[in-house]
Amino acid sequence: MTKKYKFLFVKFIAALFILNGCSNSTKFASENRDPFEKTNRNVFQFNKYVDQKIMSPISKTYVKKVPAKIRTSVSNHLQWMDTPSTIINSALQTDMENTILASAKFLLNGLTLGFYDLDKGETVIKKRDFGSTLARLNVSEGPFLMVPLIGPKTTRDLTGTILDRQNMATLSSNSIDDLSLAEVPINIIDKRSKMSKTLDNIYLSADPYVKVRSFYLQNRRNEIYSEKYIENKNNNLDAEFEKLLD
C-alpha cells in the first residue's frame, strides 16, 4: 500500500469512528433511529436497481447452469477463505474454543483448498469478524448505513469489514490477494443465489428499506451479542405481549 493510500485509509477509519461517536452512548440504539435515512433510502434504491438489473439475472443463470455440487464446492471454498478472519477475531475475543476449532477446520479443509468440507459440517464454528471484536470492546453500534453495492451495515460493522480486508491483505501474499479479488464477485453471486427468495419477498413488502434495516439489525445483534442480550430483548417483548393480551 502506498503512503498516500495508507493516509487515506487512516482518514477513512477515523471518519467512521467519528460517525460512531455521533451516535448515542448506548451499545445499540432503537431500530427506528436512523439519522441518515434520506441518504440511505437513495442508496437502497440504487442497490435495488443494480440487484434487479444485474445481480438477480446473473445469480439465476448461475443456479440454472452450474450444478448444485459445484455450487456447494464454491460456497465451501468461500467460507474457507473467510476462516482466517474468524481465527484472528476469535483469538482477539479470547474465545479459545472457537479459535482452535476454526484453525483445525481451516487446516483440514486446506487439503482441498476448502472446496470440499472434509468434516461434513460436524464442526460448528461461529463466524467472527472485526465488527464483532469492536462490539466486544464496547464500541457502540453507531448509525445504520446503506453502503453502495455492499448493502446494510452499521458504522461499527463497516469499520470492521474494512479492517478485516486490510488485515487479510497484510497477512496474505500477492497471489492470494489476486485470488481474493476474483472472489469478490463470485461471493456476491453465491450469496445472492442463496438469498433469492428472501430478497424477492422483501421487494414485495410495503417498505422494503425498513424491512432490510430491521432484518439486518436483528440478525447482526443476535450474532454479536451474548445470550444476555437475547434474554433481555425477549423479556422486553414478553412484557409488551402480556400487556397486549390483557
Partner 1 sequence: MIFNVNITKSLSDNLKMGESTIQQMILEAQEHAIDTIKLEPNERSLKIELLIKKYINLDFMSKATTGSFWKKASEIQKEKYKAALLKQIVITIEDHFNTLATLSYKPIKSERRGKKLIYVRGLIEDPNKKKPDINLLWKLAANKNGSFLILDLEIEGISLVSSQKAEAVSILRKNRGNFDILLNKMTRDN
**Scanning residues 17 to 56, which ones bind partner 1 (CB under 8 A)?**
31-32
d(CA 144, CA 174): 34
Which residue, 106 or 144, has its beta carbon nearer to partner 1? 144
Crossing angle for the helix pair 3-22 and 155-171, nearest 10 degrees?
Answer: 150
User: Which residue reads 425477549 in cell numbers?
Assistant: 234
Which has the closest alpha carbon to 187: 64, 113, 46, 79?
A: 79
Instruction: Give the nearest distance from C-beta 245 to partner 1 in angstroms.
Output: 5
DSSP states of 129-164: -HHHHHHHTT-----EEEETTTEEEEHHHHHHHHHH
Residue 218 near partner 1 by CB under 8 A: yes
Instruction: Give the nearest distance from C-beta 174 to partner 1 in angstroms.
Output: 34
Which residue, 161 or 214, has its beta carbon nearer to partner 1? 214
Among 114, 146, 213, 224, binds partner 1 (CB under 8 A): 213
Residue 204 near partner 1 by CB under 8 A: yes
d(CA 86, CA 51): 28
Cell of 232: 433481555
Residue 64 near partner 1 by CB under 8 A: no
Residues in contact with partner 1 by the rule CB under 8 A: 31-32, 72, 120-121, 197, 201, 204-207, 210-211, 213-215, 218-219, 222, 230, 234, 237-242, 244-245
